Amino acid sequence: MPPITHTPSQPAIFQELSEDCPVISIDDLSFAYPDGHVALKNLNLTIEQGEKVALVGPNGAGKSTLMLHLNGILKGEGELRVGGLPLKKENLPLIRSLVGLVFQNPDDQLFSPTVFEDVAFGPLHMGLPESEVLARVDEALAQVDMSGFGERLSHHLSTGQKKRIAIATVLSMAPQLLVLDEPSAGLDPRARRGLINLMRDLPVTMLVSTHDLRMADELFPRMVIMDEGQIVADGETSALLKDEALLEKHGLEKP
């Protein structure tokens, strides 16, 4: 019988990554879904600390699949290192505390009755002491400008508010890399603007998948274009956005 769960069963691990170690390094990653659909083909990608990277490409390009690999939810063929750690079963708990994944649909991300419980879920499951969890929840809610929403019910919030809370649920885990799946989809202009400001101000390494090329231009110095499971372009956002032929070839439109 395992120990009763409200006492921390594992020591909390705090590990600052060494300066020279890339947050993500992917070498020759391939993945096929059980139904045979090949979603990633021989993919290589490195993300250094402090970078803010936009991941763009048409629907079905493999962006979400790639994101689900970054904290080991999906496991493909090839090598993937997070903060220098190889993606292995014994590293998973630590890797999941390093990579904060925010899903596209906030209704999937927010599964607890109240906002507080949702934001506390991550730190609580990392085995942090109660006072630390409380402090982190407060801080995360403040970071997304949603202080005072702790006791509200997640499913009664607006989409924009839900997106903010969804981001807070991983910020409270103090991740080294923040991975957001189409954060601006379905938001009205004001909520989108608020989110852009929020992402600009967050001092975290970021990989953000999006169809919003104007936002990419504004926020992310580096852009990675994916199509059919491969990275077809990787470079300076402003330069890539000028290449109309490239954009059109991969189902994108110049903003």
Partner 1 sequence: MHANVFDRYHDGSSLLHHLAPTVKVVVAVLFILSNALLPDGDWLSFGISWGVILLLNLLAQLGLGFTFKRSFIVLPFTMAAITALFSLPGETLAVWDFGPWHLVATDLGLVRFLSIVVRSWLSVQIAILLVATTQFPDLIHALEHLRLPRMLITVIAFLYRYLFVLTDEVMRLLRARQARSAVLPGQRGGGGILWRAQTAGNMVGQLFVRSYERSDRIFNAMLSRGYQGHIRTFNRHEVIARDWLIMALAIFLFSILQLFAHL
Name the residues that contact partner 1, by CB under 8 A. 1-2, 4-6, 9, 68, 71, 73, 93, 96-97, 99-101, 103, 105, 108-109, 111, 120-122, 124-126, 130, 133, 155, 169-170, 173
Q: Least CB distance from residue 245 to partner 1, whole Å?
A: 36
User: Could you give the angle at which helices 159-171 and 115-125 cross, rounded to 10 degrees?
Assistant: 20
Distance CA 200, CA 9 (A): 36
Q: Least CB distance from residue 181 to partner 1, whole Å?
A: 11
Q: Which is nearer to partner 1, 164 or 222 (CB)?
A: 164
Q: Least CB distance from residue 10 to partner 1, whole Å?
A: 8
Q: Which is nearer to partner 1, 71 or 210 (CB)?
A: 71
State the DSSP string of 181-222: ESTTTT--HHHHHHHHHHHHH--SEEEEE-S-HHHHHHH-SE
Query: What's the sign of the alpha-carbon dihedral 81, 85, 91, 97?
Result: negative
Distance CA 238, CA 216 (A): 9
Q: Which is nearer to partner 1, 180 or 241 (CB)?
A: 180
Q: Least CB distance from residue 248 to partner 1, whole Å?
A: 32
Q: Which is nearer to partner 1, 125 or 211 (CB)?
A: 125
The DSSP letter of residue 153 is B
